[in-house]
Amino acid sequence: MSTSSETTAPAAAVPAPTSAPRLTGATAPGARLRFDAAVLGRPGAPVLHDVTLDVRPGEILTVVGPSGCGKSTLLRTLAGLLAPLAGSVEQDGRPLTGPSADRALVFQEDALLPWRTLRGNVELPLAIQGVPRSGRREQAGSWLARVGLDAQAKQLPHRVSGGQRQRAQLARALAGSPRAVLMDEPFGALDAQTRSGMQDLLVEVLRGTGATVVFVTHDVDEALFLGDRVALLAAGRVASVRDVPRPRDRGALDDPARVALRRAVLSSLGT
């Protein structure tokens, strides 16, 4: 698991993103993900009940709730790692029956293969898709440059910082051109400065990809900065889904509508 204390490389500020890499072919539209009266969890141990939720194509939906409320269960169901116990879960109107290259999962732990360089890790989904070596090397290099890691492309994961590993994981997730990116508290183990930079970077690199994002977090401020909408889980259900005021601007934290929404979410969480 990544931690905010690194001994192998000093922490570094997240660089300003460069222009988006040129992808082959047309950018696929974001996936539409839908729960209909779904019961989620493991057999004999349901966690969420009567989940009805429509995730719009191309939006960032953030999901917040107290520990143990089912945030990760909801995400793993969308990834196809858990089947609903009742009701239905769909992608683009069709039942979601298992994992798919259409949906990339990003964990808090960076999950990079330790024996592969950062470039080798980013090339992995492209290799699985059958992209020729020259093409996947070019695309991986473009994504690494996009997240500010072109100089670290030949490094092994243990030789770089936690923030750099998370940037490499983000590049790997997006290199395969998924239509949905499912993120399970990916910045939770990072220090505050690196975390803020990763939030900005995520917004920038998603532009032009068309991908739908479901982003689980326990941090209300992170949820309100990143999300186009925020879903609140409480008492084993989706308690509410609210639009987040825009523009997405850290300087607008005192906007009355944003302050009111933050207060409402915190109140629902009992904090």
pLDDT tens string 192-248: 888 898 898 999 888 878 899 999 998 888 999 999 999 999 889 998 999 998 877
Band of pLDDT at residue 254, cut at 50, 70 and 90: confident
Pairing relationship of beta strands 94-95 and 86-91 according to DSSP bridges = antiparallel
pTM of the model: 0.85
pLDDT tens string 31-64: 999 999 999 999 999 999 999 999 999 999 999 9
What would the CATH number be for the domain defined by 58-83+97-102+179-271? 3.40.50.300
Provide the 3-class DSSP secondary structure of residue 179.
coil
User: H or E segment at 174?
Assistant: helix 162-175
Delimit the domains of the chain by residue range: 58-83+97-102+179-271, 114-177
Percent of the chain with pLDDT over 70: 88
Burial 135-172 (b: 16+ CB within 10 A, else e): ebbbbbbbbbbbbbbbebbebbbeebbbbbbbbbbbbb
Taking Cα atoms as reference points, which of 162, 185, 188, 169 lies closest to residue 116? 169
Q: In what order do the strands lie in the sheet with 212-216?
A: 103-106, 180-184, 212-216, 60-64, 229-234, 237-243
pLDDT of residue 14: 47
Find the length of the chain. Answer: 271
Residue whose tokens read 């695309």 = 139
pLDDT tens string 157-169: 999 998 899 999 9
pLDDT of residue 111: 84
- What amino acid is encoded at 168 in this protein? A
